[in-house]
């Protein structure tokens, strides 16, 4: 297929695509890449795999060390879920990553997308992988719409499943994902570089602005998410963070208390006699 040939010639040299990367390395990359830019993930993935090259290594690590290593990637609950996944892989799968989507979905915090991606990219199975980039390419090239709907639809699944076969499915998914990431981008697509330009329904229609209306993304500056991150860094830096350290980390008292309550509820922070700390259990 044209898109696979394009991928073979133009794909980025990402470390989790190396021939010797284990299924565990692919699983870690998929967890890190959720809502995080590739250039931020690359050095963190490399450091992570150096420190914890197997599920058994991560399962033995204190949660506090895992959370510290995750800082800068955002959404730290993903780190807790990845640690729980490592423990489950050791307890249930002998420290190995299973191949099938149902087995992968049974792991803590592994949803349908991650299960499909690991099954495809780690084991070469013809799983239906639908991330934002693939959904955008399908919407434009096959249906003539500028972008996908906010939530995945049954029609998208059926379309993607019909384009995948047993022999090229994993390669096709990787190629279309890359195409959406670097050529068929959301804001400034490079249609002159696209291997699907000759058959793209959206391009043929004159690139109409006919995509679904999306709500504006909430600002990060001043948000509860930013407050949570600042407080988590303060707690990470101290053996027992108390009120003065937390107040220096985030000045707004009401928002600080709300964010701290969320961190406690999520298990990212615990109360100790010395103050607030990262969880220390394995």
Q: What is the DSSP letter of 154?
A: H
Superfamily of domain 2-123: Hypothetical protein; domain 2 (1.10.340.30)
Query: Residue 179's closest CA among 1, 7, 14, 32?
Result: 7
- Tens digit of each residue's pLDDT (9 = 90 or more) over 82-104: 999 999 999 999 999 999 999 99
Q: What is the pLDDT of residue 282?
A: 43
Q: What is the pLDDT of residue 221?
A: 86
- Every domain of the chain with CATH number 1.10.340.30 lies at 2-123
**What's phi and psi for 27, nearest 5 deg?**
-60, -45
Contact at 8 Å (CB) between 152 and 130?
yes
Q: Which CATH class is domain 132-204?
A: mainly alpha
Q: Which residues of the chain have pLDDT under 70?
A: 216, 281-282
Q: What is the pLDDT of residue 281?
A: 57
List the catalytic residues.
30
Element (H, E) at 272: strand 270-272
- Tens digit of each residue's pLDDT (9 = 90 or more) over 237-269: 887 889 899 999 999 999 999 999 999 999 999
- Every domain of the chain with CATH number 1.10.1670.10 lies at 132-204
Query: Which residues are bridge partners to 277 per DSSP?
Result: 270
Contact at 8 Å (CB) between 127 and 114?
no
């Amino acid at each position: 297929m044209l898109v696979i040939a394009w991928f073979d010639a133009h794909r980025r040299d990402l470390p989790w695509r190396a021939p010797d990367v284990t299924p565990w390395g692919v699983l870690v990359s998929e967890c890190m890449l959720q809502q995080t830019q590739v250039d931020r993930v690359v050095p963190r993935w490399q450091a992570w795999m150096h420190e914890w090259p197997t599920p058994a290594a991560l399962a033995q690590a204190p949660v506090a060390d895992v959370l510290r290593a995750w800082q800068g990637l955002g959404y730290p609950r993903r780190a807790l879920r990845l640690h729980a996944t490592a423990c489950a892989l050791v307890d249930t799968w002998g420290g190995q990553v299973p191949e099938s989507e149902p087995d992968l979905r049974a792991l803590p915090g592994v949803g349908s997308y991650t299960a499909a991606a690991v099954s495809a990219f780690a084991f070469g199975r013809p799983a239906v992988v639908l991330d934002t980039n693939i959904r955008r390419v399908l919407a434009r090239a096959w249906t003539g719409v500028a972008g996908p709907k906010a939530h995945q639809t049954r029609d998208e699944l059926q379309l993607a499943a019909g384009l995948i076969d047993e022999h090229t499915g994993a390669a096709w998914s990787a190629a279309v994902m890359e195409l959406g990431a670097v050529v068929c981008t959301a804001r400034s697509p490079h249609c002159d570089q696209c291997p699907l330009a000759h058959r793209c329904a959206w391009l043929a229609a004159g690139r109409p602005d006919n995509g679904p209306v999306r709500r504006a993304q909430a600002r990060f500056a001043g948000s509860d998410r930013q407050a949570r991150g600042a407080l988590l860094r303060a707690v990470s830096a101290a053996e027992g963070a108390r009120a003065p350290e937390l107040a220096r980390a985030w000045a707004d008292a009401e928002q600080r208390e709300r964010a701290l309550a969320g961190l406690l509820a999520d298990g990212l922070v615990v109360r100790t006699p010395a103050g607030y700390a990262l969880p220390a259990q394995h």
